[in-house]
Structure 1
């Protein structure tokens, strides 16, 4: 079968076919038996790294040799240049001081003059804040398919289940806690088979089902238990918005909006990963070095955004909350609550009142990122965050092709 596939592949050549082999790989090798069976009638050329048998034409193309020589200007003596001229190399290129420098596809004179983008989103802007080059590869022009991790797939699935669950809230909210938990279990059962069928192995499916059930178990225990702030019910789930910001459009979805009374709401963003203490969450979302604008954009959308039909969302946020169902701390699901209205008076590890400076800073970060994207500024500037090439926590998914992140320069 291996031979048959090899021969079929050989017949697909249109003009020329090169077949190569080595005398040794990790052990002694040589010609394949399949090669003798094919009886190719082409020219046989034997190349070697042995110095006694080197010939320039057998080792490098002329352009490759020129680049390598230009990279070592100190070695370009008169004798070397004379020999290079005799081999037909471009001596003017060799002595040019810029020749041989790695090509950087960004920077002054190489950036796009302007970038026309239809709209932005919280996710794309967060990528830009992590590293402009990450945005370049992932979104615009989107040179590489953005990899989706298991955690991202799980997050999408949990959003789907919780949307279905809370859209039926009027029916189960009047029930006892145990009945509410059974309702969530029934909702999960409707979706989980299709989700787990995308997992490759039995062990993967069992492991993933355990993770999902653990997250949802913490979630339902928390929302049916004692609440740290008044929550009168769900106003909206997966609420789409469209926000005009200094002439640019930002679109997205708010995971959940809760009624907290007095015409005010709590805006909730679900997080399926591990949570962070409040002081780190503040630094991440609203601090001087913030790098996640999701909650800031949710806040602006509530105040200034419209829905799919063009109607103003017209929500009055009092709380912007991060919910981490993976973490069970202090007798409940971890919740980081940022208050933008009257504070609830919770402990500092649960609640952080935001100032007008915090909100204005986050808005300025969004506007500045959009302006730089539109101006074509995609030079690498990785921050020490998960998903970049300079962090100890994981790595950039594009390190293999980005010259800044580890790939050989062009």
Structure 2
């Protein structure tokens, strides 16, 4: 059975095109934002020489949340703020060893320290730190086939909790400002796909989706932003994944200039050297 799965056409094709027998939502989203960036990252495997401080900050905060919920899941008391800050700087240092961290204008390590302190304090004081139900998964990897001809989707779910009647899928985000209901729904494509993989974990139970959003502001706000499960929206999202994968298979890669995204892109140098006559398929 396992051998048959590993040799299925969709996995073989994924391995041939990208060197992986799966796709992730972050990879699909990268292609949608800039197909050439996808090519450099996921096909050529070029190292990221630089990374923006905002991305590192978000990943380090996620490491804090993971540590917090792991302690709760183990039956321990909630970690203190100093403990969470230690986890934050551990994750920050690990990323700094992989690539140069580029700070925004008028930003430095002291500003990052103060922001991390505010965000983590807001988290600990919010309901997000004590989720309803029983924690059954933290940074849980789920994998499955969603569409014929497309490699398996590999999802990493930040938090899975279970109540007497529901399975709750939560994804944590840091944001510059509070999310509106429309923003949460617009970002919900990711959770809709994850719901297709998660529903097998608790058959017969209601599935609930939400983003847990904490603002990176002077006075951070931590709140849940529910995402509705809509069959038409899910179908649309599946079609997007299918068409993106077909474009990847066909070797459609090209630059997508953006005054916002290009400034922090780690592949600016190879992008400038890129020529439209270069062969893009392996």
TM over 0.5: yes
Aligned residues: 246
- 1:320 is aligned to 209
Q: Note closer, same or farther for the CA distance 1:144–1:160 as it changes in structure 2 (3 Å cut).
A: closer
Out of 153, 171, 174, the position equivalent to 1:269 is 171
In 2, the alpha carbon distance for the partners of 1:408 and 1:373 equals 18
1:302 Cα shift?
0.8
Alpha-carbon spacing, 1:301–1:222, altered in 2? closer, same or farther (3 Å): same
Say if 1:271 and 1:189 are closer, same or farther in 2 by CA, change over 3 A: closer
Q: Which residue of 2 aligns with 1:59?
A: none
Within a 5 Å distance, the mapping from 1:183-332 to structure 2 comes to 183-192=79-88, 194-195=90-91, 204-223=108-127, 231-245=132-146, 246-247=148-149, 248-262=151-165, 264-274=166-176, 275-285=178-188, 293-303=189-199, 313-314=201-202, 318-326=207-215, 332=221
Tell me the SS of whatever aligns to 1:261.
coil
Greater RCO, CA 8 A, separation 6+: 2
TM-score (norm 2): 0.71
Measured after TM superposition, the shift of residue 195 of structure 1 is 4.6
1:360 aligns with 2:235: yes
Quick one: distance in 2 between partners of 1:159 and 1:186? Answer: 16
Aligned-pair Cα RMSD in Å: 3.6
Structure 1 unaligned spans of 5+: 1-113, 174-179, 286-292, 304-311, 341-354, 383-388
Whether 2:41 is the aligned partner of 1:138: answer yes
CA offset digits 1:334-377 (Å, max 9, x no partner): 3321132xxxxxxxxxxxxxx21011111111122122212222
Find the aligned partners of 2:22 and 2:243 in 1 and give their Cα distance. Answer: 15
Gaps of 5+ in 2: 1-15, 278-282
Question: In structure 1, how many angstroms separate the alpha carbons of the residues matched to 2:47 and 2:217?
Answer: 37
1:388-407 pair list within 5 angstroms: 389-392=257-260, 395=263, 397=265, 398-402=267-271
Q: 1:214 touches 1:326 (CA, 8 Å); kept in 2? A: no
Distance 1:250 1:298 in 2: 9
Distance in 2 (alpha carbons) for counterparts of 1:378 and 1:196: 32
| 1:129 aligned onto 2:25 | no
Consecutive aligned runs of 4 or more in structure 1 exceeding 3 Å deviation: 170-173, 192-201, 312-317, 391-396, 398-401, 406-410
TM-score computed with the length of structure 1 as normaliser:
0.51
Whether contact under 8 Å (1:236, 1:257) holds in the other structure is yes
Please identify the structure whose Cα radius of gyration is greater: 1
